[in-house]
Amino acid sequence: MHCQTVQSNIKLNQLTEIHMEHIRNCDTCMSCWVDQLGSVPDQVTAFIKNTSLDPCQALQTRLIGGIDDDLLQEHADHCKPCGELVAALDWADNNLTALREDIPDPNFVATVIAVTSGSRPWWSTMMKKLSQLAMRPRFALEASFVMSIVLFPFVGDLIEHRLTNIPTDTTPFITNQIQQKVQQAGILSFQWTQLQIGHMQPVQVESPWKWYQSMTHSETKGDSDERNP
Amino acid sequence: MQEPQLIEACQRNDALAWEQLVRNYQNRVFGFAMTFVHHRDDAHDLAQEIFVRVYKHLNSYDGSSSFQAWLFALARNCCIDRIRRNKVRSRFMAHVDEEAEFTCPQPTPQDLTETNNHRSMLQRALATLSEQSREMIVLKEIQGLKFREIADMLGIPEGTAKSRSGRARLDLAQALTRLGYGG
Ligand SMILES: [Zn+2]
Ligand SMILES: [Zn+2]
Protein backbone atom coordinates (compact mmCIF):
# COMPACT_ATOMS: atom_id res chain seq x y z
CA MET A 1 0.00 0.00 0.00
CA HIS A 2 1.25 3.47 -0.91
CA CYS A 3 2.12 5.97 1.79
CA GLN A 4 0.06 8.56 -0.07
CA THR A 5 -3.10 6.46 0.19
CA VAL A 6 -2.49 5.77 3.85
CA GLN A 7 -1.81 9.40 4.62
CA SER A 8 -4.93 10.63 2.87
CA ASN A 9 -6.94 8.05 4.84
CA ILE A 10 -5.28 9.28 8.02
CA LYS A 11 -6.42 12.84 7.16
CA LEU A 12 -9.95 11.58 6.45
CA ASN A 13 -9.81 9.41 9.56
CA GLN A 14 -10.90 6.40 7.51
CA LEU A 15 -8.48 3.82 8.76
CA THR A 16 -8.75 0.09 8.43
CA GLU A 17 -6.65 -2.63 9.94
CA ILE A 18 -4.55 -2.74 6.74
CA HIS A 19 -3.78 0.96 7.12
CA MET A 20 -2.81 0.46 10.76
CA GLU A 21 -0.53 -2.39 9.78
CA HIS A 22 1.22 -0.06 7.35
CA ILE A 23 1.41 2.78 9.89
CA ARG A 24 3.06 0.48 12.43
CA ASN A 25 5.85 -0.27 9.97
CA CYS A 26 6.32 3.09 8.25
CA ASP A 27 8.04 5.99 10.04
CA THR A 28 6.63 8.62 7.69
CA CYS A 29 3.01 7.50 8.02
CA MET A 30 3.47 6.99 11.75
CA SER A 31 4.55 10.58 12.24
CA CYS A 32 1.62 11.69 10.05
CA TRP A 33 -0.74 9.64 12.23
CA VAL A 34 0.74 11.10 15.41
CA ASP A 35 0.24 14.61 14.03
CA GLN A 36 -3.37 13.76 13.23
CA LEU A 37 -3.85 12.39 16.75
CA GLY A 38 -2.59 15.71 18.03
CA SER A 39 -5.15 17.65 16.00
CA VAL A 40 -8.22 15.44 16.46
CA PRO A 41 -7.47 13.11 19.38
CA ASP A 42 -11.11 12.18 20.13
CA GLN A 43 -11.83 10.95 16.61
CA VAL A 44 -8.84 8.69 16.42
CA THR A 45 -9.37 7.45 19.95
CA ALA A 46 -12.93 6.59 19.02
CA PHE A 47 -11.66 4.80 15.95
CA ILE A 48 -9.26 2.66 17.96
CA LYS A 49 -11.99 1.88 20.48
CA ASN A 50 -14.56 0.78 17.91
CA THR A 51 -12.35 -0.91 15.38
CA SER A 52 -11.81 -4.60 14.94
CA LEU A 53 -8.10 -3.82 15.31
CA ASP A 54 -6.37 -6.24 17.63
CA PRO A 55 -6.25 -4.25 20.90
CA CYS A 56 -2.73 -5.43 21.74
CA GLN A 57 -1.49 -4.23 18.34
CA ALA A 58 -3.37 -0.98 18.79
CA LEU A 59 -1.55 -0.48 22.07
CA GLN A 60 1.82 -1.16 20.49
CA THR A 61 1.04 1.25 17.67
CA ARG A 62 0.23 3.93 20.21
CA LEU A 63 3.43 3.22 22.08
CA ILE A 64 5.42 3.66 18.86
CA GLY A 65 3.60 6.93 18.30
CA GLY A 66 4.61 8.02 21.79
CA ILE A 67 0.97 8.27 22.84
CA ASP A 68 0.42 7.55 26.49
CA ASP A 69 -3.22 8.07 27.46
CA ASP A 70 -6.18 6.58 29.32
CA LEU A 71 -7.08 4.26 26.47
CA LEU A 72 -3.63 2.73 26.53
CA GLN A 73 -3.62 2.45 30.31
CA GLU A 74 -7.11 0.95 30.31
CA HIS A 75 -6.01 -1.87 28.03
CA ALA A 76 -2.71 -2.41 29.82
CA ASP A 77 -4.58 -2.82 33.11
CA HIS A 78 -6.60 -5.71 31.71
CA CYS A 79 -4.10 -7.43 29.43
CA LYS A 80 -1.19 -9.25 31.05
CA PRO A 81 1.32 -9.13 28.14
CA CYS A 82 0.61 -5.45 27.43
CA GLY A 83 0.71 -4.63 31.14
CA GLU A 84 4.16 -6.18 31.30
CA LEU A 85 5.26 -4.23 28.26
CA VAL A 86 4.12 -0.92 29.72
CA ALA A 87 5.76 -1.79 33.06
CA ALA A 88 9.02 -2.65 31.28
CA LEU A 89 8.87 0.69 29.50
CA ASP A 90 8.38 2.52 32.80
CA TRP A 91 11.27 0.60 34.31
CA ALA A 92 13.50 1.47 31.34
CA ASP A 93 12.53 5.16 31.64
CA ASN A 94 13.54 5.15 35.29
CA ASN A 95 16.86 3.40 34.74
CA LEU A 96 18.20 4.40 31.33
CA THR A 97 19.80 7.61 32.57
CA ALA A 98 22.13 5.40 34.65
CA LEU A 99 23.87 4.60 31.36
CA ARG A 100 24.47 8.25 30.53
CA GLU A 101 27.74 8.35 32.40
CA ASP A 102 30.33 5.76 33.26
CA ILE A 103 33.60 6.31 35.07
CA PRO A 104 36.70 5.49 33.03
CA ASP A 105 40.02 4.45 34.60
CA PRO A 106 41.72 7.18 36.68
CA ASN A 107 44.52 7.68 34.14
CA PHE A 108 42.10 8.27 31.28
CA VAL A 109 42.39 12.07 31.17
CA ALA A 110 46.19 11.91 31.31
CA THR A 111 46.23 9.45 28.41
CA VAL A 112 43.96 11.66 26.31
CA ILE A 113 46.10 14.74 27.05
CA ALA A 114 49.26 12.81 26.15
CA VAL A 115 47.77 11.56 22.90
CA THR A 116 46.30 14.90 21.83
CA SER A 117 49.16 17.22 22.70
CA GLY A 118 50.51 18.48 19.40
CA SER A 119 48.26 16.28 17.33
CA ARG A 120 46.11 19.06 15.93
CA PRO A 121 46.86 19.34 12.19
CA TRP A 122 49.03 22.36 11.31
CA TRP A 123 46.55 23.68 8.74
CA SER A 124 43.74 23.75 11.30
CA THR A 125 45.82 25.86 13.69
CA MET A 126 47.00 28.05 10.81
CA MET A 127 43.46 28.66 9.57
CA LYS A 128 42.36 29.62 13.09
CA LYS A 129 45.34 31.99 13.45
CA LEU A 130 44.60 33.44 10.02
CA SER A 131 40.95 34.00 10.85
CA GLN A 132 41.94 35.70 14.13
CA LEU A 133 44.43 37.82 12.18
CA ALA A 134 41.70 38.69 9.71
CA MET A 135 39.59 40.04 12.58
CA ARG A 136 42.10 42.89 13.01
CA PRO A 137 41.07 45.99 11.00
CA ARG A 138 44.57 46.42 9.66
CA PHE A 139 44.64 42.94 8.16
CA ALA A 140 41.50 43.54 6.15
CA LEU A 141 42.90 46.83 4.90
CA GLU A 142 46.20 45.32 3.95
CA ALA A 143 44.44 42.48 2.20
CA SER A 144 42.14 44.77 0.23
CA PHE A 145 45.09 46.99 -0.69
CA VAL A 146 47.02 44.03 -2.07
CA MET A 147 43.94 42.72 -3.83
CA SER A 148 43.22 46.04 -5.54
CA ILE A 149 46.78 46.23 -6.84
CA VAL A 150 46.92 42.61 -7.98
CA LEU A 151 43.41 41.92 -9.16
CA PHE A 152 42.37 44.91 -11.26
CA PRO A 153 45.25 45.16 -13.75
CA PHE A 154 45.15 41.39 -14.03
CA VAL A 155 41.41 41.27 -14.73
CA GLY A 156 41.66 44.17 -17.18
CA ASP A 157 44.46 42.41 -19.03
CA LEU A 158 42.60 39.14 -19.11
CA ILE A 159 39.46 40.74 -20.52
CA GLU A 160 41.41 42.60 -23.16
CA HIS A 161 43.16 39.46 -24.39
CA ARG A 162 39.99 37.38 -24.36
CA LEU A 163 37.73 39.85 -26.10
CA THR A 164 40.11 41.03 -28.83
CA ASN A 165 40.07 37.45 -30.13
CA ILE A 166 36.38 37.80 -31.00
CA PRO A 167 36.18 39.61 -34.32
CA THR A 168 33.09 41.81 -34.26
CA ASP A 169 32.60 45.50 -34.91
CA THR A 170 31.58 46.29 -31.40
CA THR A 171 34.41 44.37 -29.68
CA PRO A 172 36.86 47.30 -29.42
CA PHE A 173 34.08 49.46 -28.01
CA ILE A 174 33.08 46.87 -25.36
CA THR A 175 36.69 46.19 -24.45
CA ASN A 176 37.27 49.86 -24.01
CA GLN A 177 34.23 50.28 -21.81
CA ILE A 178 35.13 47.33 -19.61
CA GLN A 179 38.74 48.40 -19.30
CA GLN A 180 37.67 51.87 -18.30
CA LYS A 181 35.29 50.53 -15.66
CA VAL A 182 37.87 48.14 -14.30
CA GLN A 183 40.49 50.83 -14.16
CA GLN A 184 38.07 53.19 -12.45
CA ALA A 185 37.16 50.52 -9.90
CA GLY A 186 40.84 49.80 -9.32
CA ILE A 187 41.64 53.46 -8.71
CA LEU A 188 38.65 53.95 -6.43
CA SER A 189 39.49 50.82 -4.49
CA PHE A 190 43.05 52.08 -4.09
CA GLN A 191 41.85 55.48 -2.89
CA TRP A 192 39.38 53.92 -0.49
CA THR A 193 42.04 51.66 0.98
CA GLN A 194 44.33 54.66 1.56
CA LEU A 195 41.50 56.58 3.16
CA GLN A 196 40.69 53.68 5.49
CA ILE A 197 44.32 53.19 6.44
CA GLY A 198 44.42 56.89 7.31
CA HIS A 199 41.42 56.49 9.63
CA MET A 200 42.39 53.03 10.91
CA GLN A 201 38.77 51.94 10.97
CA PRO A 202 37.62 48.34 10.98
CA VAL A 203 36.27 47.26 7.61
CA GLN A 204 32.55 46.63 7.31
CA VAL A 205 31.64 44.22 4.54
CA GLU A 206 29.25 46.62 2.85
CA SER A 207 31.32 49.76 3.41
CA PRO A 208 33.59 49.60 0.28
CA TRP A 209 30.51 49.16 -1.89
CA LYS A 210 28.65 52.00 -0.17
CA TRP A 211 31.66 54.22 -0.53
CA TYR A 212 32.03 53.26 -4.20
CA GLN A 213 28.36 54.08 -4.76
CA SER A 214 28.62 57.42 -2.97
CA MET A 215 31.72 58.30 -5.03
CA THR A 216 30.15 57.43 -8.37
CA HIS A 217 26.79 58.89 -7.31
CA SER A 218 28.23 62.24 -6.20
CA GLU A 219 30.21 62.36 -9.45
CA THR A 220 27.10 62.09 -11.64
CA LYS A 221 25.21 64.36 -9.27
CA GLY A 222 27.96 66.94 -9.53
CA ASP A 223 27.82 66.67 -13.34
CA SER A 224 24.11 67.20 -13.50
CA ASP A 225 24.34 70.12 -11.08
CA GLU A 226 26.86 71.75 -13.39
CA ARG A 227 24.61 71.17 -16.36
CA ASN A 228 21.50 72.52 -14.62
CA PRO A 229 22.57 75.26 -12.30
CA MET B 1 34.80 29.18 33.22
CA GLN B 2 31.49 28.85 31.32
CA GLU B 3 31.34 26.27 28.53
CA PRO B 4 31.41 28.70 25.56
CA GLN B 5 34.49 30.43 27.00
CA LEU B 6 36.07 27.06 27.74
CA ILE B 7 35.56 25.93 24.14
CA GLU B 8 36.93 29.21 22.78
CA ALA B 9 39.99 28.78 24.97
CA CYS B 10 40.42 25.23 23.64
CA GLN B 11 40.18 26.57 20.10
CA ARG B 12 43.02 28.97 20.96
CA ASN B 13 45.11 25.92 21.91
CA ASP B 14 44.85 26.57 25.65
CA ALA B 15 46.15 23.30 27.13
CA LEU B 16 44.55 23.82 30.56
CA ALA B 17 41.17 24.54 29.02
CA TRP B 18 41.43 21.40 26.91
CA GLU B 19 42.20 19.32 29.99
CA GLN B 20 39.17 20.83 31.73
CA LEU B 21 36.94 20.02 28.75
CA VAL B 22 38.15 16.40 28.74
CA ARG B 23 37.47 16.20 32.50
CA ASN B 24 33.98 17.67 32.08
CA TYR B 25 33.01 15.21 29.37
CA GLN B 26 35.02 12.08 30.18
CA ASN B 27 32.15 10.29 31.95
CA ARG B 28 29.60 11.17 29.27
CA VAL B 29 31.88 10.13 26.42
CA PHE B 30 33.00 6.97 28.18
CA GLY B 31 29.36 6.11 28.98
CA PHE B 32 28.49 6.72 25.33
CA ALA B 33 31.33 4.45 24.19
CA MET B 34 30.19 1.75 26.65
CA THR B 35 26.72 1.68 25.04
CA PHE B 36 28.41 0.85 21.76
CA VAL B 37 31.13 -1.63 22.72
CA HIS B 38 30.37 -2.82 26.30
CA HIS B 39 33.91 -3.97 27.08
CA ARG B 40 35.75 -1.47 29.25
CA ASP B 41 39.04 -1.85 27.38
CA ASP B 42 37.36 -1.28 24.03
CA ALA B 43 35.36 1.60 25.47
CA HIS B 44 38.57 3.25 26.71
CA ASP B 45 40.07 3.00 23.21
CA LEU B 46 36.91 4.31 21.62
CA ALA B 47 36.47 7.18 24.08
CA GLN B 48 40.10 8.15 23.53
CA GLU B 49 39.57 8.09 19.77
CA ILE B 50 36.51 10.33 20.19
CA PHE B 51 38.50 12.89 22.19
CA VAL B 52 41.32 12.85 19.64
CA ARG B 53 38.77 13.60 16.94
CA VAL B 54 37.14 16.33 19.03
CA TYR B 55 40.57 17.89 19.50
CA LYS B 56 41.37 17.77 15.80
CA HIS B 57 38.03 19.16 14.67
CA LEU B 58 37.23 21.54 17.52
CA ASN B 59 37.99 24.55 15.34
CA SER B 60 35.12 23.58 13.07
CA TYR B 61 32.62 23.95 15.95
CA ASP B 62 31.03 27.36 15.38
CA GLY B 63 28.50 27.49 18.20
CA SER B 64 25.50 27.24 15.87
CA SER B 65 24.36 24.02 17.59
CA SER B 66 24.73 22.97 21.21
CA PHE B 67 28.21 21.67 21.99
CA GLN B 68 26.89 18.35 23.25
CA ALA B 69 24.91 17.81 20.02
CA TRP B 70 28.11 18.53 18.05
CA LEU B 71 30.17 16.28 20.31
CA PHE B 72 27.77 13.34 20.09
CA ALA B 73 27.40 13.66 16.31
CA LEU B 74 31.17 13.31 16.11
CA ALA B 75 31.23 10.52 18.70
CA ARG B 76 28.53 8.67 16.78
CA ASN B 77 30.58 8.82 13.57
CA CYS B 78 33.55 7.52 15.51
CA CYS B 79 31.53 4.59 16.86
CA ILE B 80 30.12 3.76 13.44
CA ASP B 81 33.63 3.78 11.94
CA ARG B 82 34.83 1.51 14.72
CA ILE B 83 31.97 -0.95 14.26
CA ARG B 84 32.50 -0.96 10.50
CA ARG B 85 36.24 -1.59 10.96
CA ASN B 86 35.53 -4.44 13.38
CA LYS B 87 33.02 -5.97 11.00
CA VAL B 88 35.55 -5.90 8.18
CA ARG B 89 38.12 -7.43 10.49
CA SER B 90 35.73 -10.13 11.70
CA ARG B 91 35.05 -11.15 8.13
CA PHE B 92 38.69 -12.15 7.87
CA MET B 93 38.72 -13.90 11.21
CA ALA B 94 36.67 -17.08 10.99
CA HIS B 95 36.15 -17.48 14.74
CA VAL B 96 34.90 -14.01 15.46
CA ASP B 97 31.16 -13.60 15.61
CA GLU B 98 29.86 -10.74 13.45
CA GLU B 99 27.78 -9.50 16.32
CA ALA B 100 30.57 -9.90 18.87
CA GLU B 101 30.53 -6.10 19.24
CA PHE B 102 27.19 -6.22 20.93
CA THR B 103 27.34 -9.34 23.05
CA CYS B 104 27.69 -8.61 26.71
CA PRO B 105 30.29 -10.02 29.02
CA GLN B 106 29.26 -12.13 31.99
CA PRO B 107 28.60 -10.00 35.07
CA THR B 108 31.77 -9.16 36.99
CA PRO B 109 31.84 -8.71 40.80
CA GLN B 110 31.61 -4.98 40.05
CA ASP B 111 28.15 -5.54 38.58
CA LEU B 112 26.69 -6.93 41.77
CA THR B 113 25.21 -3.74 43.21
CA GLU B 114 21.63 -2.98 42.27
CA THR B 115 22.51 -0.05 39.99
CA ASN B 116 25.08 -2.13 38.20
CA ASN B 117 22.55 -4.96 37.85
CA HIS B 118 20.17 -2.53 36.18
CA ARG B 119 22.94 -1.22 33.98
CA SER B 120 24.00 -4.64 32.86
CA MET B 121 20.38 -5.66 32.20
CA LEU B 122 19.84 -2.56 30.08
CA GLN B 123 23.12 -3.16 28.23
CA ARG B 124 22.03 -6.71 27.46
CA ALA B 125 18.64 -5.52 26.23
CA LEU B 126 20.24 -2.80 24.12
CA ALA B 127 22.58 -5.36 22.58
CA THR B 128 19.60 -7.24 21.14
CA LEU B 129 18.15 -4.19 19.36
CA SER B 130 18.70 -3.24 15.74
CA GLU B 131 21.43 -0.67 15.16
CA GLN B 132 18.79 1.96 14.35
CA SER B 133 16.78 1.36 17.51
CA ARG B 134 19.85 1.19 19.73
CA GLU B 135 21.07 4.48 18.35
CA MET B 136 17.73 6.17 19.05
CA ILE B 137 17.71 4.92 22.65
CA VAL B 138 21.29 6.05 23.20
CA LEU B 139 20.80 9.51 21.71
CA LYS B 140 17.32 10.29 23.02
CA GLU B 141 16.71 8.35 26.22
CA ILE B 142 20.26 8.01 27.51
CA GLN B 143 22.06 11.15 26.33
CA GLY B 144 18.92 13.30 26.37
CA LEU B 145 19.38 15.01 23.01
CA LYS B 146 16.40 16.85 21.52
CA PHE B 147 14.46 15.34 18.59
CA ARG B 148 15.53 18.33 16.48
CA GLU B 149 19.20 17.65 17.25
CA ILE B 150 18.85 13.93 16.51
CA ALA B 151 16.99 14.65 13.26
CA ASP B 152 19.80 17.00 12.16
CA MET B 153 22.43 14.47 13.13
CA LEU B 154 20.81 11.61 11.22
CA GLY B 155 19.57 13.76 8.34
CA ILE B 156 15.92 12.74 8.80
CA PRO B 157 12.70 14.72 9.42
CA GLU B 158 11.87 15.41 13.07
CA GLY B 159 8.64 13.38 12.81
CA THR B 160 10.63 10.37 11.62
CA ALA B 161 13.00 10.76 14.56
CA LYS B 162 9.99 10.74 16.90
CA SER B 163 8.44 7.60 15.46
CA ARG B 164 11.81 5.82 15.32
CA SER B 165 12.25 6.69 18.95
CA GLY B 166 8.82 5.27 19.81
CA ARG B 167 9.60 2.09 17.89
CA ALA B 168 12.96 1.80 19.65
CA ARG B 169 11.28 2.19 23.06
CA LEU B 170 8.83 -0.58 22.20
CA ASP B 171 11.68 -2.81 21.01
CA LEU B 172 13.55 -2.15 24.23
CA ALA B 173 10.49 -2.91 26.39
CA GLN B 174 9.98 -6.18 24.51
CA ALA B 175 13.65 -7.10 24.90
CA LEU B 176 13.52 -6.38 28.64
CA THR B 177 10.40 -8.50 29.05
CA ARG B 178 12.05 -11.36 27.16
CA LEU B 179 15.15 -11.11 29.34
CA GLY B 180 13.04 -11.10 32.51
CA TYR B 181 14.40 -7.75 33.68
CA GLY B 182 13.10 -8.31 37.21
CA GLY B 183 11.31 -4.97 37.45
ZN1 LIG C 1 3.98 4.85 4.69
ZN1 LIG D 1 -2.87 -6.48 25.07
ipTM of this complex prediction, to 2 decimal places: 0.84
Q: Is residue A70 part of a domain?
A: yes
Identify the pLDDT of residue B4.
92
- What is the mean predicted confidence (pLDDT) over A84-106? 94
- Nearest chain A residue (CA) to B161: A27
CA of A55 to the centre of ligand 2 (A): 6
Cβ of residue A123 closer than 8 Å to a chain B Cβ: no
- What is the mean predicted confidence (pLDDT) over B3-13? 93
Cβ of residue A104 closer than 8 Å to a chain B Cβ: yes
Report the C-alpha gap between A208 and A193 in whole angstroms: 9
| Count of structural domains within chain A | 2
Q: Is residue A116 part of a domain?
A: no
Identify the pLDDT of residue A102.
93
Cβ of residue A88 closer than 8 Å to a chain B Cβ: yes
Identify the pLDDT of residue B68.
93
CA of A45 to the centre of ligand 1 (A): 20
Identify the pLDDT of residue B90.
59
> Phi and psi for A121 in degrees, rounded to 5?
-60, 145
Report the C-alpha gap between B97 and B94 in whole angstroms: 8
Residues B152-166 have pLDDT tens digits of 999 999 989 999 999
- Residue A131 or A91, more confident: A91
Identify the pLDDT of residue B31.
94
> Phi and psi for A64 in degrees, rounded to 5?
-60, -40
Domain of A183, in residue numbers = 136-227
Question: Do A167 and A88 sit in the same domain of this protein?
Answer: no
A35 has a pLDDT exceeding 50: yes
Q: B162 and A116 in contact by Cβ < 8 A?
A: no
| Count of structural domains within chain B | 1
Q: Is residue B183 part of a domain?
A: no
Cβ of residue A31 closer than 8 Å to a chain B Cβ: yes
- pLDDT band at residue A227 under the 50/70/90 scheme: very low
Q: Is residue B49 part of a domain?
A: yes
Report the C-alpha gap between A145 and A138 in whole angstroms: 10
Question: Do A85 and A146 sit in the same domain of this protein?
Answer: no
- pLDDT band at residue A108 under the 50/70/90 scheme: very high
CATH of the domain at B72: 1.10.1740.10
Highest mean pLDDT among A83-92, A132-141, B113-122: A83-92
Cα dihedral B102, B105, B107, B109, rounded to 10, equals: -130
Which residue among A35, A88, A117 places its CB closest to the CB of B173?
A: A88
Q: Is residue A143 part of a domain?
A: yes
Contact predicate A182/A159, CB 8 Å: yes
Which residue among A92, A116, A125 places its CB closest to the CB of B51?
A: A116
Residues B46-81 have pLDDT tens digits of 999 999 999 999 999 998 889 999 999 999 999 989
Enter the pTM of the model.
0.66
What does pLDDT average to over chain A?
A: 74
